């Protein structure tokens, strides 16, 4: 078996994840641009542009509709996978190191570093399936 090379990032890759079906690969990197690839061929499908710092982590929802990304720019972003549209941005008190959807795709959690006088934080965001753009709110952890 020959490996498939994914060529497209300009800096170190920080995270690689398959979607639940195994047909898509998502990568995050220090070049600020999360990227989507076909798993079978390694062909680059598209990018998610909008972060201003290294992207440390990402996670697709179970149904491959949404993507959540965590960045050193102190933001979590929620994207529509198919169109690449940035749906929402969630500011954090420090660089965000980790994000993860729950199994149902109704919530995601983020973890940010201590920064200046702000302590490290874990935030849980809950969204309504019918209208995620207007009903996603942070919940105290």
pTM of the predicted protein model:
0.87
Q: What is the chain's pLDDT, residue by residue, as a tens digit (141 residues)?
A: 778 778 888 899 999 999 999 999 999 999 999 999 999 999 999 999 999 999 999 999 999 999 999 999 999 999 999 999 999 999 999 999 999 999 998 999 999 999 888 899 999 999 755 544 434 445 444
pLDDT of residue 4: 78
Q: Residue 110: which H helix or E strand, with range?
A: strand 107-112
pLDDT of residue 96: 97
Cβ neighbourhood burial of 32 (10 Å; 0-12, 13-18, 19+): buried
* Contact between 32 and 47 (Cβ < 8 Å): no
Q: Is 133 left (phi over 0), alpha (psi -120 to 50) or beta?
A: alpha
CB atoms within 10 A of CB 131: 9
**In whole angstroms, how far apart are CA 122 and each of 52, 87, 114, 139, 140?**
21, 21, 11, 10, 8
């Amino acid at each position: 078996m020959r490996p498939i090379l994914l060529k497209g990032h300009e800096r170190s890759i920080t995270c690689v994840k398959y979607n639940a079906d195994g047909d898509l690969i998502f990568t995050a990197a220090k070049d600020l641009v999360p990227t989507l690839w076909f798993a079978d061929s390694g062909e680059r499908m598209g990018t998610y542009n909008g972060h201003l710092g290294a992207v440390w982590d990402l996670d697709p929802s179970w149904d491959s509709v949404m993507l959540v990304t965590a960045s050193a720019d102190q933001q979590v972003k929620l994207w529509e996978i198919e169109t690449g549209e940035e749906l929402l941005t969630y500011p954090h008190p420090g660089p965000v190191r980790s994000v993860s959807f729950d199994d149902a795709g109704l919530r995601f959690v983020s973890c940010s570093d201590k920064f200046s006088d702000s302590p490290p934080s874990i935030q849980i965001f809950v969204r309504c399936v019918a209208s995620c753009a207007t009903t996603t709110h942070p919940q105290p952890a």
